[in-house]
Amino acid sequence: MTSTSLAVRRIGFGAMHLPTTPAAARENAKAVARRAVELGVPLIDTAHLYGGGANEELLAEALHPYPDGLLITTKVGVARTGPDGEWRLDGRPDVLRDQVDQALRRLRLDRIELLQLHRIDPEIPLADQVGTLRDLREQGKVNLIGLSEVTVEQLDQARDIVEIASVQNRYNALDREHEPVLDACERAGIAFLPWRPVAAGATGTNPAFAAVAAETGATATQVALAWLLHRSPVMLPIPGTARIGHMEENLAAERVRLTEAQFQRCGR
Ligand SMILES: NC(=O)c1ccc[n+]([C@@H]2O[C@H](COP(=O)([O-])OP(=O)(O)OC[C@H]3O[C@@H](n4cnc5c(N)ncnc54)[C@H](OP(=O)(O)O)[C@@H]3O)[C@@H](O)[C@H]2O)c1
């Protein structure tokens, strides 16, 4: 995946909020995922962490066989310390390999098109973690490799080991701590998938976005997403929602264009 190959559709869907129980909520969650696909979403983001694989299973139940052009990406590297234990970063190679095998089974895939390392585990050498993903790629279980919550330095170290196709860091117009990482991705043509792209809904009530929304006829949340698309050509936001209405609103933001002045006002 390069930013060029993602250029046609640029807003994805973060599936983390989809409930898997009880049965009625599960059916609604499947309908949300199917609506995203009907609307042509290019990428759906999940993770082993989201329910210990339950979120991956839900997506497969809702969407398999997957339509051409839909990329389902998952993340590995956070594991439970025991059956009822707590979730901790765990980048040990055997854990990464096992979570990939579980994801292949749960997602009903022969190959994971984009596998992301959820976090760099500080207790394990970065080279061992990224090297394991490279080996999985050589075995054909994974195609592209991405990282999440990394610094520019970690990104550079990883790129010395294997090609990195994407980075997923927390980023939105109100929270720009990872600006240097975004710039590094842009320079290298690496897709940047900001998580928390609508600031967990807070962009909807932000006065700057609301003012631009009034000018453009869009909603404030759509303006926040349009701001991200305007910010960089490598940007592919993955807003999360469990509601069809919000999904429709978010994906329609792709059609909202900001002037440079509107962009500047929202980014202050
Ligand atoms: N890599 C990582 O470490 C990491 C961490 C967290 C999340 N993620 C991924 O990133 C995705 C997005 O991140 P996020 O969920 O933390 O943040 P987000 O997308 O900024 O916010 C999601 C929240 O905003 C609400 N929302 C969404 N669209 C809305 C709209 N149009 N109007 C009003 N409220 C709206 C949703 O509530 P409703 O359900 O009510 O719409 C949901 O509670 C996740 O789904 C997950 O796939 C990755």
Q: What is the pLDDT of residues 25-48, one digit of tens each?
A: 999 999 999 999 999 999 999 999
pLDDT digits (tens, 9 = 90+) for 109-126: 999 999 999 999 999 999
Taking the CA of residue 245 as reference, the ligand 1 atom at the shortest distance is 31
Residue 4 tokens read as 């060029």
Does residue 230 line the site of ligand 1, with CB under 6 A? Answer: no
Between the alpha carbon of residue 159 and those of residues 6, 24, 85, 146, the distances in Å are 20, 44, 33, 10
Measured in Å, residue 74 CA sits from the centre of ligand 1 at 16
Largest CA distance in the chain: 53
Does residue 133 line the site of ligand 1, with CB under 6 A? Answer: no
Does residue 77 line the site of ligand 1, with CB under 6 A? Answer: no
Nearest CA to ligand 1 atom 8: 195
* 46 burial type by CB count under 10 A (0-12 exposed, 13-18 middle, 19+ buried): buried
DSSP state of 49: T
pLDDT digits (tens, 9 = 90+) for 54-90: 999 999 999 999 999 999 999 999 999 988 899 999 9
With a CB cutoff of 8 Å and minimum separation 6, the contacts of 114 are 1, 43, 71, 73, 143, 144, 145, 146, 165, 166
Measured in Å, residue 138 CA sits from the centre of ligand 1 at 33
